[in-house]
Structure formats: C-alpha cells, structure tokens
A and B are shown apart, each in its own frame.
Chain A
Amino acid sequence: MYTDNRAQGLTLFWQSIWARAYPRIFGMLRERSWMFFDTFLPLLGTLSYVFVYRAIQAPEEYIGFVVVGGAMTAFWLNMLWSMASQLYWDKDMGNLELYVVSPAPLPAILLGMAIGGLVNTTMRATAIIVVCSLLFAVPYEPGSLILLLMVFIVTMTALYGMGMLFASVFLASGREAWHMANLLQEPIYLASGFFFPVRALGFWFATFASILPLTLGLDAMRQLLFADAVTLRFLPVEVELGLLVVSSVVFISTAMLALAKLEERGRREGRLIERRR
C-alpha cells in the first residue's frame, strides 16, 4: 500500500513537471514571434557593448567575453522574469489558485517551469552566440568540451535552483516583486562580470559575487572557450565547478524549504492566493 502510494506520488510529480514544462517548450513553437523579441532584445545590449570594446580598441578576445556574457543574460532574464516572478504573475492572473487546489505538488510545478525555461532559453542563447560570432568573427579556442558541458549544466542547475528560491521570496513580497526583478538586472550584470572578466572587480568583491551562479559559471566557461582567458581568470575551472555543485545543492534544498514554509503559512493565513493591485 505504502509502495503504491509512493509510486503514485512519483508519477504525479513527474507528470506535473512535464505538464508545466510542456507549454514553455512547445509554446515557443506555436508563438514563434516570441523568439524574435527574446533573441533580439539581449542581442541589442550585447552588440552595444561589443562596439564599446571596439571603440576603445580592446583585444579581440574581449569581444568573445561580451558575446558569451550576452548569451548568458538570456538565462538570467529568463530566471528572473519567467521563474522568480512567475508565481507572482500566476497569482495575479488566478493560475496559482488552480495550482494550489490541484493535486500537483508546487515543487514539481517550479521544476517544470525551470526545465521548460532552460530548454527554450538555450535555443535563444545559441541564436545570440551564433549571430554575434558570425558578425564579429569571435576567435574561440575551446579547451575540454566535456568540461564545458559539465560547467554549463551545473551552472544552470544552480541558477534555476536560485530561481526556485526567488519564486517563493517574490511571491511573499507582493507587488514589490516587479521592482525587485527590475532591480536585479544591471547590478547583477555588474557584479557577475557579464561583460568583462569578474577578476577586474578585485578578489574579495568577486568572492562575494560568487554567490550568484553565473559569476563562477561565466568565468569557467570563458576559460574553456578562450585560451587567453586563463590569464584573466578568477579561480581555476575545477574549483569553480566544485563551488557550483555546492551552490546547486544549497539553492535547491533552500528553495524546497522556502516553498513548503510559504505554502504552509499561506494556507494557514489564507493569503497565498490573495490578489492585491
């Protein structure tokens, strides 16, 4: 009996993940025009920073740094607006009410959101990298591709784990969520070194900024994509990979705890799905 219940629970969890990921993955194919805006907007900022480096006659690998950083902005924005803010939007539109009364577990819904967001953003980020690399003839000199893939996967796990944690925080903060998401753009681009090697900010600042998964992830990916980046690195790739694994575990487990706490408090106080304008 216990085994049956557990199997049913796992099936429900899996089905909920897939159900929430589905519209994110296939919705993109049904509304292709979104692809244009989601690729075009980060591309504009990236191109501007490339031209700044050109204006000050920076070495060519810096163009590559900006291109990789620009592609990563797509993931940060996706995490911020389609993950962290999502439960708040869902509450605003009445979907959260449906989630709560359905037997689908909220962590599974968040995980589905993360997987769906990750898949469609990867396509957009790839488009940004391809377009910019062709436009500016970026001089890649890749090292270990397997290590690169590992760094990418672990960075994304930590990033979307952070997104799951933020989803609870943003949901609890009501209409300030919108402003918080807005606030977490340029300051994060600065702290994480999206457009320059994070080492330029100094060791202690970079150490503090390493709480953000993209700080370490970007630094490691640049080292694996550009031979000269090793001289501009913050930490060795292996150390950064290890720290990212720790971040992933911490963010995901904290997110689960925060969500359980929020759900419990929301149900007790009856305010989880309360809408305010």
Chain B
Amino acid sequence: MITSRLLDLPLLRRSDALRTFSIAAWLGWQIESNWADPLLFAVYAIARPVASVLILVVMYSVITEGATQEPIFAYIYLGNALYILVSQVITGTSWAVIDDREHYRTMKQLHTSPMDGYAYLMGRGVARLIIGTISVLIVVGVGLIAFDLPLYPLTINWGLFLLSTVLGILSLAAIGIMLGGATMMMARHFWSVGEAVAGSLYLFTGAIFPLDVLPAWIRPLGFVFPVTYWLELARRALLGDNVPRFETLAAFSNGQLLGILVLFTIGLLGLSILFYRWALHQAKERGMIDLETNY
C-alpha cells in the first residue's frame, strides 16, 4: 500500500533509478526486519552496538579508574558509536549481492528485469543505514545518560556534522557498491570481503584511538580513507572545544578536512559507477552473475 503510493509520486514515475532505489530500500528493510517480532528485532539492533561500546568503556575504566570526564573518553566513545554506520553501510551494500546470489537465488530474475543495478544496490544499503542510525542514536543516548558525554545541543555545529555525515555516508555507500561489484566476480571468500574492509577501516582510520598511536610507517594509510576525515569532522562538530586535538590531524582546519572529504566522495562515487558497470559486465561475461557456489 505504502509502496504503491510511493511509486505513484511524479518524481519516482519519471526516474527509473529513483524507482529502483525506493523499491530496493523497501525490500532491504523487509529482509532485515521481518525475521522476528519487533521486540526481538529491537534487542538485536541494540545489544551488539551497546556491547561493543561497553567493551571500550570497561577497558578505559579499568585503566583510568573511571575518568570518563577526560576528553579522550568522548573521543573513543563517539568514534566507536559513529563507526557503526561504517560497518553497516559497507557490509550492508556488499552483502546484498551475496544474499541475492547465494541465499535467495534471485540474481537471474533481478538482472533480467529492467532495473538500474547501481540504484538497486544503493537502495539495499538503506535498510542497514536505518538500523545503523538507530543503533548510533541509542549508543550516544547511553553515553549521555550513563557517562555524561559532553554533548550540548547549543554548542554542536549541526551544519558541519550533518554535511560531513552525509558526505561520509555517500563515500561509504560508494565503497560498499565497489565491494558488491567485486563480490559479483568472486566465487570464493566473498563472505569475508566486507568484514575485512570494515575491520581494516576500524584499525587504520583512528576510529577508537588517535592515529598518532599507530606506528609511523602505518599511519599514512589513515589518510587514504574518507572515514578518517569524516570521523574527525564529526567529532569536532559534536564536541566543539572539548575535542582533543592529536598531532596527525590537528594541523588541518575544518574547511580543509571538509574539502578533502568532498573530493573523496565525488571521486569514490564516480569510481563506483564505473567499477560497478565493469564488474557487472565481467560477471555476465564469465557466467558468474547467478552463480551459486555454496562456498
């Protein structure tokens, strides 16, 4: 009912890509949320991220004897909370390919229908983005109530936060689509690709510790991922004067960081369109588009 009304909107009727995107987003939500009753689903959406941040809280508290008022605590806490979006968007988009090919076995039907494959994958990532956003809000809420995070609505630079987050999510979606494209051409190890990339970004982008802690020879890796700039900007926007400045990124102004993030986002989106088209062509040529590996 809702979907048919949505599809009747003039904007959607005119655009194949938007129509595909909307239907894919609705489909993704159905797949992600219909396996359990809403209460169980809510527990599932909350338990993992809250547990993940509590691990860090306990680690921090054991060493500092609970000095949660120190600026580094908020740095670690918010980094981990925002990182939920990174893993959800990247793995969510690439997993859509695995789900359709190996689990539901609908790739043949999908790719013989007149849909926009790129918009479809973007749409499938939306459900995970929604779940991730809810998780982030809950984790931040827990931080505000239980650990007195220094977040004050009047001092938050909302414009910078929203702009950097939109750019960050778009660049993550682009990375996810490239991984989805790579997955279409893979018969082995596709299960681990999204997780490996998300895990690497957790380590190399300073999500839960300042980049300065990494050995000097690894540190430059952090500069080649947009997540580094997004997390830094988001922390600066949220914490204002309370944000600790670490050597590696302290020299960059907000404007410079934003400029770099814009360039990354445009570059990655362009690259993802080209890569997806190439990967789809390759998968079709090699007969792998509807491959069921049971691997």
**Which chain A residues have a beta carbon within 8 Å of chain B's beta carbons?**
31, 33-34, 37, 40-41, 44-45, 47-49, 51-59, 62, 93, 175-176, 179, 182-183, 185-187, 189-190, 194-197, 200-201, 277
Contacts and interface: CB of A to CB of B under 8 A. Distances in A.
Interface residues of B, number: 39
Interface stretch (B142-150, B192-200, B250-258, B265-273): B192-200
B76 interface: yes
A113 to B, nearest CB: 17
A53 B63 contact: yes
Contacts of A197: 62
Interface of B: 35-36, 43-44, 47-49, 51-52, 54-56, 58-64, 72, 76, 103-104, 188-189, 192, 195-196, 199-200, 202-203, 207-210, 213-214, 294
B35 A175 contact: yes
A62 B60 CA distance: 11
Contacts of A34: 189
Given A58-B63, A183-B47, A186-B51, A93 B189 contact: no
Contact of A52 (B43, B76, B199): B76
A152 B88 CA distance: 35
Nearest to A89: B294
Contact of A37 (B54, B55, B58, B189): B189
Contact of A196 (B43, B62, B64): B62
A183 B48 contact: yes
9 contacts: A31-B188, A48-B207, A51-B203, A182-B48, A183-B47, A185-B48, A186-B55, A195-B55, A197-B62
A13 B244 CA distance: 62
A54 B208 CA distance: 11
A37 B188 CA distance: 11
Contacts of A201: 58
A117 to B, nearest CB: 17
B209 A55 contact: yes
A194 to B, nearest CB: 8
A277 B34 CA distance: 12
A201 B47 CA distance: 17
Contacts of A186: 47-49, 51-52, 55
Given A175-B35, A185-B48, A51 B104 contact: no
Contacts of B52: 186, 190
A31 B188 CA distance: 10
Nearest to A187: B51
B203 A56 contact: no
A41 B195 contact: yes
A51 B55 contact: no
A201 B54 CA distance: 11
A175 B155 CA distance: 46
A62 B189 contact: no
B137 to A, nearest CB: 18
Given A179-B44, A200-B62, A55 B210 contact: yes
A-B CB proximity, top 8 nearest: A44-B199, A55-B209, A186-B51, A187-B51, A37-B192, A186-B52, A58-B63, A190-B51
B59 A196 contact: yes
B213 A200 contact: no
A121 B59 CA distance: 26
A62 B192 contact: no
A23 to B, nearest CB: 13
A36 to B, nearest CB: 9
A48 B208 contact: yes
Given A62-B63, A189-B55, A56 B36 contact: no
A41 B61 contact: no
Contacts of A41: 192, 195-196, 199
A175 to B, nearest CB: 6
A41 B195 CA distance: 8
A176 B213 contact: no
A277 B196 contact: no
Given A48-B209, A175-B35, A277-B104, A56 B63 contact: yes
B61 A200 contact: yes
B47 A187 contact: yes
A44 B55 contact: no
A232 B103 CA distance: 46
A37 B189 CA distance: 8
Contacts of A196: 55, 58-59, 62
B59 A47 contact: no
Contacts of A185: 48
Which of B59, B76, B199, B213 has the largest number of chain A CB atoms within 10 A? B59
Which of A31, A49, A57, A93 has the largest number of chain B CB atoms within 10 A? A49
Given A41-B192, A57-B63, A190-B58, 20 more contacts: A33-B188, A34-B189, A44-B196, A48-B203, A51-B209, A51-B214, A52-B56, A52-B59, A52-B76, A53-B63, A54-B213, A56-B64, A62-B62, A179-B36, A186-B48, A187-B47, A196-B59, A196-B62, A200-B58, A200-B61
